[in-house]
Structure formats: structure tokens, C-alpha cells
Amino acid sequence: MKQRESWLSALRGLLAPVACAVVLMMFFTAVNCLERGRADEGRGRLEDSLRRAAAACYAAEGIYPPDLAYLQAHYGIQVDEARYTVDYEVFGSNLMPDITVLENGA
């Protein structure tokens, strides 16, 4: 009987550190997911801004911008090049360019 009680008290002594470790692991997982979501949202906002600026250029000038530098110079687009890589492919002055934003690796 005493053996069972000592085993139960040892189990209770281990339960608190294990529970603390599980809570910490869940916390860090949640923070990681939030950071990933924030990064995805930033990438999506930049891509959306580029598309809107290209459409505004077409509406104002009758042609889509010939390159990313044109959007940056004339439409106030700013790209954090340390964080994002922008693939801007033009097919013609009257066709919407293919715009892809990729987040650079850490």
C-alpha cells in the first residue's frame, strides 16, 4: 500500500513540470503561427498594392507599367527588397502583368 502511495506522490511531482512544458510548447507554437500569418498578410498586401498601382497606371495612361521601377518611381510603390522578391513579367502594354511576390528566406 505504501509503495502505491509513494508511486502516486512521485507521479504528482512530475505532473507539474510536464504540464508547464506542454503549456510553454503550446505558447511558442501559437506565437510561431501568428508570425507566419503576419508574414503572409504582408506579402499579400504588397502584391495587392502592386496590382492596384498597375491598374491605376492603365486607367490614367492607357498602358500597364513597363517594369517595377516605373511603379516605384511614378506610383509611390515601395518594396522592402531585403524581405521580398517581386517577379514582374510584362506580356504587352495592354495586358495586365503577371505579378508574384515571394518572401525571402531568413
For residue 66, what are the contacts with CB-CB under 8 A and spacing of at least 6?
90, 93
Residue 106 has pLDDT above 80, yes or no: no
For 28-59, what is each residue's pLDDT tens digit?
787 777 777 777 788 889 999 999 999 999 99
The one-letter amino acid at 83? R
pLDDT confidence of residue 85: 93
For 2-13, what is each residue's pLDDT tens digit?
666 777 777 777
User: Contact at 8 Å (CB) between 90 and 66?
Assistant: yes
Number of separate domains in the chain: 1
What global pTM score does this model have? 0.67
Domain that includes residue 76, residue range: 2-103
Closest CA to 83 of 33, 38, 48, 53: 38
pLDDT confidence of residue 1: 59
- 38 vs 70, which has greater pLDDT? 70
What grid cell was written down for 99? Answer: 505579378
